[in-house]
Structure 1
Amino acid sequence: MSADARQAADPTQPETAGTVELDVRTLPHGGRHEVIFGHLNALGTGESFIIRNDHDPKPLRYQTESLWPGTFEWNYLETGPAVWRVEITRVD
């Protein structure tokens, strides 16, 4: 994702070594997946972003794998108990 695309996706989110880190804890619970899906759609092959959440985002992962099988790889960077950080990379 280009710097312009990252800014257009959500200019308030910090970047970590060129990777957007999206803190979904600050988003309304009912709209989190929609925002994350927007970030997923903006990724090019090999690009990634990190989500920060207050619980394990397994339901999001299952939904993502159902909608886009084999498209994204999930790498847990932090696994609670208070914060989960997951890097999602587009692999197709």
Structure 2
Amino acid sequence: MSHDCSRPTGPEGIYPFDARGVAKRFRHAAIFGALDSLNPGEVMRFCNDHDPIPLLQQINNFFGSKVKIAYLSRQPGEIIIDFLVTESLD
């Protein structure tokens, strides 16, 4: 059964972000903007059709330990990652 990234997935504080619907040239800026808008304790549930390893490295380099990354699915064509903001990003 496939995950539907367009539907809310859990308790308040988990915000879906389906990167498949964002033009490639805007994706990284949109993802960084979405992360920057989260408060500590909130999660962005990211969905994509491929494993965004360069993006994960950029997020780690920029935010460091302030954003925790956890894969929920790493199946071909269905990548789901939770980004948990652990402290203020400003």
Q: TM-score, normalised by structure 2?
A: 0.81
Instruction: Deviation per CA, 1:53-78: give whole Å up to 9, x if none.
Output: 01112111100111112110011001
Total equivalences in the alignment: 80
Q: Percent identity?
A: 29
Q: Which residue identity does 1:74 align to in structure 2?
A: I
State the partner residue of 2:27: 32
Offset at 1:27?
A: 0.9
Whole-Å Cα distance in 2 between the matches of residues 15 and 38 of structure 1?
A: 19
| Structure 1 moving runs of 4+ over 2 Å | none
Report the counterpart of residue 66 of structure 2 in structure 1: 71
Q: TM-score w.r.t. structure 1 length?
A: 0.79
Structure 2 Cα separation of the partners of residues 20 and 51 of structure 1: 8
Gaps of 5+ in 1: 1-12
Match of 2:76 in 1: 81
Structure 2 runs not aligned, ≥5 long: 1-5
Give the conservation status (yes or no) of the 8 Å contact 1:23–1:51: yes
- Structure 1 residue 14: deviation in Å? 3.8
Q: How does 1:1-92 map to 2 (within 5 A)?
A: 14-17=7-10, 18=12, 19-92=14-87
